[in-house]
Amino acid sequence: MEYSTQKFLNLLCGEYSNQQQAIDNPPFFAHIFLRYKAIEHLKPGSILLEQSYAVNPTKPYRLRMLRAEETSTGIIKLWNHKFKHPEKFTTATTNLSQRQKINQNDLIPLEDCHYQLVEKTDGYHGDIEPGSCCMVRRDGKNTYLVSSFHLQGDRLSTLDRGYDPETHERLWGSIAGKFQFIRTNSWEAKWNQSDTSIGE
């Protein structure tokens, strides 16, 4: 893996909470935990992302596999995947034996939803790859995603919103701006295989 990708993943991996924001602004921001955990036995750069509500931390509401890869232009690309059976991996971020059961066949690539990250003087900025249109079906409607991500030190902020393809009206996502997380715990970004391995 490229040094810059490793450096980004070293910073990213860990647990995050937006507790302060949820306390300050309860009607607009649910209290959420994020966990980014290396999946040690998969290809280097493979990360498990878990999102859960603090009121129900053992039942994540979203589970994704992100795979980081550096492009020739120095941009870090994150390939996004969902799980065929997320209910099989609800404790996988913290439970090694459950995590070890994840294999390539459990994953579904989310086409046109790849992310890209650029390092600037004030940290890492990310969004959906330019030119791609990530369609998200929610509440029976198709929407296109507009998303942003910023990681600087122990602060991570995200904004995900879905819009109607015809009217461009916002159909879901935060009304009151970005979710603002603080990293509460850091985890190693380390994989079993060497970088040159072709294993998945």
Q: Which of 48, 66, 68, 76 binds ligand CYC (CB under 6 A)?
A: 66
Out of 124, 136, 180, 191, which residue is the one contacting ligand CYC (CB under 6 A)? 136
Q: How far is the CB of 161 from ligand CYC (least distance, A)?
A: 9
Minimum distance, C-beta of residue 82 to ligand CYC, in the bound complex (Å): 6
Burial label for 58, CB within 10 Å (0-12, 13-18, 19+), is exposed
Q: What is the DSSP string of 3-30?
A: HHHHHHHHHH-EEEE-HHHHHH-TTT--
Q: Least distance (Å) from ligand CYC to the CB of residue 134?
A: 5
Among 88, 101, 138, 190, binds ligand CYC (CB under 6 A): 138
Helix (H), strand (E) at residue 127? strand 123-128
Neighbours of 121 (CB within 10 A): 5
Among 110, 146, 171, 182, binds ligand CYC (CB under 6 A): 110
Residue with tokens 């990530």: 134
DSSP characters over 28-63: T---EEEEEEE-TTSSTTEEEEEEEETTSTTS-SEE
Q: Specify the amino acid at residue 162.
A: G
Stretch that binds ligand CYC, among 87-95, 100-108, 132-140, 190-198 (CB under 6 A): 132-140
- 78 part of the interface to ligand CYC, by CB under 6 A: yes
Residues in touch with ligand CYC (CB under 6 A):
32, 51, 62, 64, 66, 78, 80, 110, 113, 115, 126, 134, 136, 138, 145, 147, 149, 158, 160, 179
